[in-house]
């Protein structure tokens, strides 16, 4: 502990994930799902993650945070595009830090590396979502300088609704 009662920072390495990290990332995704009270919705498998992170057409990338050889956190992200700015953006899909890494610089290190990647890649924005009940995360993000966008809502199609729209026949627009 430091003099103000906070846990000491960890010796930490943040690096791009490799295929060998897939089991760790899936375990961290399951930990995240439990933390977010969404274990029932977590169907991620090592095969699916391996295919979509490292296959012929990768859809996302990941960073892994390690301390003393143990994975303590991850960030999974991908690029989107801002039409108004005609520029790429970086979207953080998920960030998770195991309890032993919280308040010890792991989350900040992952977000700092992602911000640096966004700048290096010419992204004009770095965005993510946070659950409205997750006050510790919200306060942490605001402390880093993030703004909460109250006027935007996430829309989602999945399951039967997605399949129905995908196969809908209607007037051409």
Does the residue 171 lie in any domain? no
Does the residue 147 lie in any domain? yes
| 114-159 per-position pLDDT tens digit | 999 999 999 999 999 999 999 999 999 999 999 999 999 899 999 9
Q: Which residue has the tokens 């003099």?
A: 3
**Percentage of the chain exceeding pLDDT 90:** 88
Distance of alpha carbon 49 from alpha carbon 64, whole angstroms: 14
Residue 121's pLDDT is what?
98
Residue 3's pLDDT is what?
60
Does the residue 115 lie in any domain? yes
Assign 9 a pLDDT band (cuts: 50, 70, 90). Answer: low
**76: β partners:** 62, 94
Does the residue 173 lie in any domain? no
Does the residue 40 lie in any domain? yes
91 Cβ neighbours under 8 A, 6+ residues apart:
77, 78, 79, 80, 127, 128
Q: Which of 35, 91, 96, 141 is catalytic?
A: 141
- Here the CATH number for the domain that contains residue 131 is 3.40.630.30
Does the residue 6 lie in any domain? no
Cα 95–chain centre separation: 4
Contact by Cβ (8 Å): 97, 7: no
Residue 96 is among the residues annotated as catalytic for this protein: no
137 Cβ neighbours under 8 A, 6+ residues apart:
130, 131
Does the residue 105 lie in any domain? yes
Count of the separate structural domains present in the chain? 1
Does the residue 172 lie in any domain? no
Structural domain of 144: 13-166
Structure tokens given for 89:
């953006």
């Amino acid at each position: 502990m430091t003099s103000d009662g906070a846990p000491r920072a960890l010796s930490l390495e943040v690096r791009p994930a490799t295929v060998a990290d897939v089991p760790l990332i899936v375990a961290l995704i399951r930990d995240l799902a439990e933390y977010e009270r969404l274990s029932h919705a977590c169907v991620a498998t090592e095969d699916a993650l391996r295919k979509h992170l490292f296959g012929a057409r990768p859809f996302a990338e990941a960073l892994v945070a390690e301390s003393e050889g143990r994975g303590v956190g991850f960030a999974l992200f991908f690029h989107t595009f801002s039409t108004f700015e005609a520029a790429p953006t970086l979207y953080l899909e998920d960030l998770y830090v195991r309890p032993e890494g919280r308040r010890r610089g792991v989350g900040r290190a992952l977000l700092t590396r992602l911000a640096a990647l966004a700048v290096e890649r010419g992204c004009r924005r770095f965005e993510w979502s946070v659950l409205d009940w997750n006050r510790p995360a919200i306060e942490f993000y605001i402390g880093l300088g993030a703004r909460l966008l109250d006027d935007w809502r996430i829309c989602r199609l999945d399951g039967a609704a997605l399949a129905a729209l995908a196969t809908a026949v209607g007037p051409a627009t």
